[in-house]
Chain A
Amino acid sequence: MLVLGIDTSGYANAIGVVDGERVLADFAFQTRNESLARIMLNIDSVLGENNLGLEDIGGFGVGLGPGSWTGIRIGVTVGKMLAYCTGKPVKGISTLEALAFCARDCQRLICAIVDAGARETIYAALYRSGHNGIHQVSDYYVGDLPGLAELVKEPITLVATDAQKYLSVLGQLLKSDAVEALETAPGGAVVALLAATRLESGENDDTLALAPLYLKESTARAFINKYKRRAQAVP
């Protein structure tokens, strides 16, 4: 099955096309503030360079985040509407899983990290490689690096866009030889590969319900909830 993968959770419009397990195209268009302006043109150029039309695509893979909230909304909306217009299935993929998948040949515990933007917060999850691909073995984590280090009890392979930044801190927190790093960005082809496997086994998402994986509530809601909790704490 030909699957188009889109991930806009990072610094690029990442777009890839796979045919089952074979990667046909994998591009990351650096966008800065032009993700929305470029996205359709980027998709059109990736399809065009492979002599493909939208009608050739059998399904869609969409990176759901976590990552830039605004960025994810672009990819999710475009992916959802492409599936809706073509009547083809769509599968949302966690961007952390897509990152971890890049380290699928590693024997160590895989730790995928995405920068959460504010106050050195990160999104993370732990994965293990098995005969059927990779499997998530922890809950999603939102917090700081020391908190993450406490969850890790064994040598890890760290996967992130800015892995070197985390490597030095985590290396100090854990024993230094316990951490190795793989630096890679969310990729369109990886998202497409993961989606293709699931779509081929009939695991598609409800197209119109497809929604981002934010992992954090909006600041306003967090603020109100904090006050609610405080109010409840006061006898």
Chain B
Amino acid sequence: MLVLGIETSCDETAAALVADGRTVLSNIIANQLDLHRKYGGVVPEIAARRHTELIGYVINEALDAGGKSLSDVQAVAVTAKQGLVGSLLVGVAAAKTLSYALRVPLVGVHHIEGHIFANLLSNPEIPLPHVCLTVSGGHTLLVYVRDHCRYEKLGGTVDDAAGEAFDKIAKFLGLGFPGGPAIDRLATKGNRKAFAFPRPLLKAKSFYFSFSGLKTAIINAFKHQLAGGEKLPFEDIAASFQEAVVEVLVAKTLRAARESGVSAISVTGGVSANRRLREVFTDTGDRESIKVYFPALSLCTDNAAMIAAAGHARLRRGYADDLSLDVIPNVPLEVQHAG
């Protein structure tokens, strides 16, 4: 089955063609970073306007790049849950129109479910059940994946998302937006043990994370030097901050896997592209005989191939939506499989 995926939940306008939930024929992503950079974050109204301008071109490009025409499309999958309401709405309006005009099934997908499937697209061999950590600029969520489309939440963040902490520290250090890649680069030249930043909730029994206090601790520790024009050891700060975040994410996810009795961990989302996170996860996993999987780099950040793959799985389980599909900006992943 050829599924056209559409994703517009934040600031990427994306469309993709995926065959049988496995083969990515095209994966087009129009990035809006240049529009949002000067604001230090995503501006919802600007994002929604850009999606409206781009959506047709991106869908057309996905078909062209995949060597297919509209009449080849057998279903349309779209991110309808979790994201900026004005942004989600553009993708859903386009998807509904395609479904209506082409007379093909429509399926709404939860954005996080898309990320879970990004890793399954890259690594179809990931065994079930497994534990999945989704870490991005907007999300930090730990779930037990019992089966495709069946999730149980284990934990999440109580304040900032992990990627949000990267963005805020990068902004503080003047590294620009988005902060993840900038900190990753800078950290390779720094000493991870230069500063002993807090490891929030590391010892807590729950699987919840908190990154807001870590961010504040770092800002408070250096803001006077920064204001006084002192030259700060940026590389060491970046490396030590990244180490604190990575240590907490890895320790809690590994413990969740042990306690759930699974032998595989899937790490997805934009932060899963972070090199140090991959390194520590893989090394720690190896020591405990738990295999850790990461998506291809092209599928870490928001994309529509993962939405098409998730949509395909949902359709196979009979979770199709009708033309009254609406957007839900904020809804837990685990309650959505009821369709």
Binding site for B on A (CB under 8 A): 34, 36-41, 43-44, 54, 69-70, 73-74, 76-78, 80-82, 84-86, 207-212, 214, 218-221, 224
Contacts and interface: CB of A to CB of B under 8 A. Distances in A.
Given A208-B60, A224-B38, A40 B89 contact: no
Contact of B43 (A37, A76, A218): A218
Per DSSP, chain B at the interface is helix
A40 to B, nearest CB: 4
Q: Which 5 A-B pairs have the closest CB atoms?
A: A85-B101, A218-B45, A81-B97, A208-B56, A77-B93
B46 A77 contact: no
B19 interface: no
A76 B43 CA distance: 21
A73 B100 contact: no
B79 to A, nearest CB: 14
A82 B56 CA distance: 11
Contact of B326 (A34, A70, A208, A214): A34
Interface in B188-229: none
Contacts of B86: 69-70, 73
A91 B314 CA distance: 37
A212 B60 CA distance: 20
12 contacts: A39-B93, A40-B100, A41-B324, A44-B323, A70-B89, A73-B89, A80-B55, A81-B98, A218-B43, A218-B45, A220-B39, A220-B43
B62 interface: no
Nearest to B89: A36
B283 interface: no
Which bracket fits the contact residues of B? 35 or more
Contacts of B48: 69-70, 73
Interface of B: 38-39, 43, 45-46, 48-49, 51-53, 55-57, 59-60, 70, 85-86, 89-90, 92-94, 96-102, 323-327
B140 to A, nearest CB: 26
Given A40-B96, A77-B93, A77-B94, A224 B39 contact: yes
A77 B52 contact: yes
A73 B88 CA distance: 11
Nearest to B86: A70
Given A34-B326, A44-B323, A212-B52, A82 B46 contact: no
Contact of B101 (A73, A86, A210): A86
